[in-house]
Amino acid sequence: MPPLLPPDIPVLAEAPFRVELALSGPPPEHLFPWLEPRVHESLLLSGGAHPLSEHSYVGLNPFLVLSSRGGTVTLADPGGTTIHEFSGDPFRTLSLLTRHYRRTAGPGCPPFWSGAIGYLGYELGRRLERLPSSTLDDLGLPELYFVFYRHVLGYSHRDSTYTLCGVELAGDGQGPRVEVEERIRRGLRADGQEALSPPVFRPNNLPVQLQSNFSRSGYLAAIRRAQEYIREGDIYQVNLSQRFQTSFNGDPYGLFLKLFRINPAPFFAYLNPGPFQVISSSPERFLSLRNGLIETRPIKGTLPRGRTPEEDLANRQDLLKSEKNRAELAMITDLLRNDLGRVSEYGTVQVVDPVLLESYTNVFHLVSVVRSRLARRKEPLDLIRATFPGGSITGCPKIRSQEIIDELEPTVRSVYTGSIGYLCLDGSLDLNIAIRTLILKDNVLTFQAGGGIVYDSDPEAEYQETLHKAASIREALAATVQVQD
């Protein structure tokens, strides 16, 4: 990796801008397709009655694409032309870019007003620690993918209003800003005029036949092997997952919308790098950093919503009383406290809420809330390096759990259990844990579901939990199938 960024990357004009569109209109999930989004344009969508579901964001007019795979880092323009390619550390490159483009927002901008949207794949952990690499990489996707945008359209769920913020490149003039404003206004008008005839998404006319990378007996055997490691004292717990895949030739954004309607959550994301698409319906925050304050909210413990009010209340109480789930959550919370302690001001790491029950459309989750203050002279990428991948989807201790995951899971996780979100030009960030996340490539749709394995786990119950976690995805897939006459 060269000591500095290449001189031919795009240069920003000095001052960010903000445009109060003074428009209320349809929510962003409905507006997005009317914007006729291009390759690399993306949506970070929040939904549901959740305290974190305050803003949604659309990334528009990209100017730089950063990706990495197998130690090769690539900087490209949005059309796919390589600007620079080299062997190096993708985390360092991302850090250099965010520092190079650092700007301060003007008053009135939403939390994310300009910067990069993308993902950190699970296997990037191998760039941070010496870990084995024996799993089959049959997806062949970038391990890191972030896109820097001129413009971000922010939506306030509280006020139901849009604000356009962003930056311009040196030499841009007013053209890109005028063009994006016209796209937005045209999209808002089109949605209003066609309210009774929403965009028609291409249906899936391939049979939904889910296949796992495990047989049932194979997954149960992997759980038992993990429990042997626990008995031998290697680990306290480990997260194991199975991957499902099916043929799919429908519109991926149509599937995204169906998932959102079934189970809205705070950290939905739709990314379109071109050769593949990523759909995430995650409820879990990995990291938030704003004004030096860090927050992480690990999830450990899941039970389905009840079919009746009485069953719903019983499941809620059972989850809160579950010693197994509370113990898992406590272990992961402690792991994350230690991770944050590596980059936080001494004495600032606090467990604000050790056990919090959150309710979603189809499940209950147990969550903890941990906060701290980033140490002086530490950068946002130092925080990511210290904590990635999230402990809630590896296990404890983290490195040994990652080694066991590599041994027991047959294929790469890729985006699944990595992180998706934004890095703002002012140094703030918000990243999810990419659970309930789908990848569409070459008409094959893949997604994974897993759970934490501990000493007294019941293998059959753990297997059934993975099936339940995949239920909303199966339901959305079934709804995309074209009915044959």
pLDDT tens-digit map of 31-85: 999 999 999 999 999 998 888 999 999 999 999 999 999 989 999 999 999 999 9
pLDDT band for 2, please (50, 70, 90 cuts).
very low
Question: CB-based contacts of 405: which residues, under 8 Å, 6+ apart?
Answer: 238, 239, 240, 394, 395, 413
Which stretch of 16-25, 152-161, 363-372, 465-474 has the lowest confidence by average pLDDT?
16-25
Orientation of helix 323-341 relative to helix 380-387, angle to 10°: 140
300: annotated active-site residue:
yes
Q: Which range, of 103-117, 287-301, 399-413, 437-451, averages the lowest pLDDT?
A: 103-117
- pLDDT (0 to 100) of residue 198: 57
Higher pLDDT, 379 or 468: 379
Share of the chain above pLDDT 90, in %: 76
Q: What is the pLDDT of residue 200?
A: 78
Beta strand extents in 232-275 (DSSP E only): 237-247, 267-271
Catalytic residue among 300, 328, 465, 469: 300
Compute the distance between CA of residue 260 and CA of residue 280 in angstroms, rounded to an integer.
10
Question: Dihedrals φ, ψ of 293, to 5°?
Answer: -95, 130
Average pLDDT, the chain: 92
Tell me whether residue 426 is exposed, middle or buried, using C-beta atoms within 10 angstroms of its C-beta: 0 to 12, 13 to 18, 19 or more: buried
| Chain CA centroid to CA 51, Å | 18
Query: Residue 21 has what pLDDT?
Result: 66
Of the pLDDT bands very low, low, confident and very high (cuts 50, 70, 90), residue 22 is low
Q: How does DSSP classify residue 375?
A: P
pLDDT at 15 over 80: no
Query: For position 105, what pLDDT does the model report?
Result: 84
pLDDT at 197 over 50: no
Model pLDDT for residues 406-452, shown as the tens digit of each residue: 999 999 999 999 999 999 999 999 999 999 999 999 999 999 999 99
C-alpha–C-alpha distance, residues 414 and 200, integer Å: 30
**Distance (Å, rounded) from C-alpha 203 to C-alpha 217?**
34
152 and 57 Cβ atoms separated by less than 8 Å: yes
First vs last C-alpha separation in the chain = 58
Helix boundaries (H) for 40-101: 90-100
Q: Is the peptide bond before 389 cis (omega within 30 degrees of 0)?
A: yes
**Backbone φ/ψ region at 71: left (φ over 0), alpha (ψ -120 to 50), beta:** left
Helix locations, 263-379, DSSP H: 309-321, 323-341
Residue 26's pLDDT is: 84
Query: Is 17-480 CATH 3.60.120.10?
Result: yes
pLDDT category, 176, cuts 50, 70, 90? confident
**123 has catalytic annotation:** no
- pLDDT tens per residue, range 218-227: 999 999 999 9
Residue of 284, 295, 403, 462 marked active site: 284
- At 414, is the secondary structure helix, strand, or coil? coil
pLDDT score recorded for residue 224:
98
Domain boundaries, the chain: 17-480
Q: What is the pLDDT of residue 1?
A: 43
* CA 12 – CA 166 distance, rounded (Å): 11
* Choice among 16-25, 157-166, 410-419, 422-431 with the minimum mean pLDDT: 16-25
pLDDT for residue 192: 53
pLDDT at 237: 95
